[in-house]
Amino acid sequence: MRMLKFLLQKELKQIFRDPAIIIILFIMPTIQLLILPAAADYEIKNINLGVVDHDHSEYSRKMVEKITSSGYFRLRDYSPSFKQGLKAIETDKTDLILEIPANFERDLVKDNESTLFVAVDAINGVKAGLGGAYLQQIIGDYNNEIRTQWIQNPRMSPQPSIDVTSSDWYNPNMNYKAFMVPGILVLLVTMIGSSFASNNIVREKEMGTIEQINVSPIKKYQFILGKLIPFWILALSVLTIGFIIARVVYGIVPVGSYFTVYAFASIYLVAVLGLGLLLSTYAQTQQQSMLVSFFVTMIFNLMSGLYTPIESMPGWAQWIARFNPVTYFIQVMRMVVLKGSSLGDIRVHIFIILGFALFFNTWAILNYRKRTG
């Protein structure tokens, strides 16, 4: 134990003596937490609309007005021809075009029906889908308005109608930030745990100081603990700072208990640090270790369900997500912070993350040798 004390003293001194590290560990996460949640918002709003109105009738105008006043669309372009309207799509000025044919109103009265044309920039598939759907919905509403206006007597028998009410639990204000902030926090903490710690060890390899350790009576497990514990503490500190920022800046207060999160986080970090340790045993230079860490971090990041839902991924991709420890932490964070899940509720997650911790650390410890041969 005394060995460990000396090791820890040395590590902590070294970490805090590098000013860059302080900035990276504390200031950058703060900045990221302040900027990122504001940026990360999938909500489809402010869809840019282009209109090509060949009719210029009272009803075509009213329809356009109804569409623009819905709040979903912004009228950005009003062109005399489809060709020109298309140019607006090409330059990203508009997301979709509504073309109203000449004689729109007249055809509706005379022939009982009239057809509109919509062209949508479908590069962003979801935006296109929802945009089209919203537009159709509004047109449908307008259609009903006209009908009730023009038909004096309700000659139709009443139709059965299903009234759908929807309620949103756990986040009644649909606050997207509450969803993103915990996730981003997880990512930051993970980066510190895996990349930073990993690089630190490889640095000693590269500098040659690790030889001095290998030739001394320091036991393997002592060296490893000596490297992991400081970063474990640092990562938890960043987590704490993150929670403070979440509370003070975003007003996010966990519905569940902080204890649950920290309990899970503690085990999670052991797993993630173990992974970092494992990677460090394979890297010979810092450049290699950084590149690999980065590669792994990016995959973990993007396949974690933070930005895109896991259920939407193809089967094989979901398997990858299942083997990604980050996935579980993000779920736990959101569950505890937004839904108030308890330790009992997350017991499966805890079990899985313990598995990860054991797996990575065991492999890493077996791999790390004081004596090569």
Partner 1 sequence: MKQFLIFVKKEWLHIWRDRRTLFILIWMPVVQIILYGFALTNEVKNSNIAIFDQSRDVASLAISDEIAASRYFNLVKNVYSYKDIGATFRQGKIRMAIVFPQNFRNDLLHTNSAQIQLIADASDPNTANTLTNYAQSIINDYQQSLNQNQQLPYTIKAQVRMLYNPELKGAYSFVPGVMALVLMLVCTMMTSIAIVREKEMGTMEVILVSPLKPFRIIIAKAVPYLFVSLVNIITILLLSVYVLGVPIVGSLWLLMAESTLFTITSLSLGILISNGAKTQQSAMFTSMMSLFLPTLLFSGFLFPIENMPMPLQVISNVVPSKWFYIIIKDIMIKGLGFGAVWEETLILVGMTAILLGISIYKFKIRLA
Partner 2 sequence: MQSEKVITAHELTKRFGDFVAVNKITFDVEKGEIFGFLGANGAGKTTAMRMLCGLLLPTSGQATVAGFDVYKQNEQIKKNIGYMSQKFSLYEDLTVSENIRFYGGIYGLSDAHIKEKSALLVKQLHLDGQEKTLVRALPLGWKQKLAFSIAIVHDPAIVFLDEPTGGVDPVTRREFWGLIYEASARGITIFVTTHYMDEAEYCNRVSIMVDGRIDALDTPANLMKDYSAASMDEVFLQLARKAVRSGD
Please choose, out of 96-104, 172-180, 203-211, 286-294, the segment that lies near partner 2 by the rule CB under 8 A: 203-211
Give the integer Cα–Cα distance in Å for 261 and 240. Answer: 11
Map residue 242 onto helix, strand or coil: helix
Give the integer Cα–Cα distance in Å for 233 and 266. Answer: 9
Contact 88, 97 (CB under 8 A): yes
Of 3-22, binders to partner 2 (CB under 8 A) are 3, 5-7, 9-10, 13-14, 17-18
Token pair recorded at residue 287: 């450049």
DSSP designation for 160: P
Of 184-223, binders to partner 1 (CB under 8 A) are 187, 191, 195-196, 199-200, 203
Contact 353, 264 (CB under 8 A): yes
Please choose, out of 135-143, 164-172, 175-183, 202-210, the segment that lies near partner 2 by the rule CB under 8 A: 202-210
Map residue 159 onto helix, strand or coil: coil
CB of 213 to partner 2, least distance (A): 8
Among 218, 292, 343, 352, binds partner 1 (CB under 8 A): 292
Give the integer Cα–Cα distance in Å for 251 and 243. Answer: 10
Our finding on whether 121 is near partner 1 (CB under 8 A) is yes
From partner 1, partner 2, none, which one binds at residue 212 (CB under 5 to 8 Å depending on kind)?
A: partner 2
From partner 2, partner 1, none, which one binds at residue 9 (CB under 5 to 8 Å depending on kind)?
A: partner 2
Q: What is the CA radius of gyration of the chain?
A: 29
In the complex with partner 2, the residue whose CB is nearer, 22 or 244, is 22
Please choose, out of 209-217, 218-226, 272-280, 300-308, the segment that lies near partner 1 by the rule CB under 8 A: 300-308
Q: Cα dihedral sign for 139, 144, 148, 151? A: positive
**Where does this chain bind partner 2 (CB under 8 A)?**
2-3, 5-7, 9-10, 13-14, 17-18, 207-209, 211-212, 214-219, 370-373
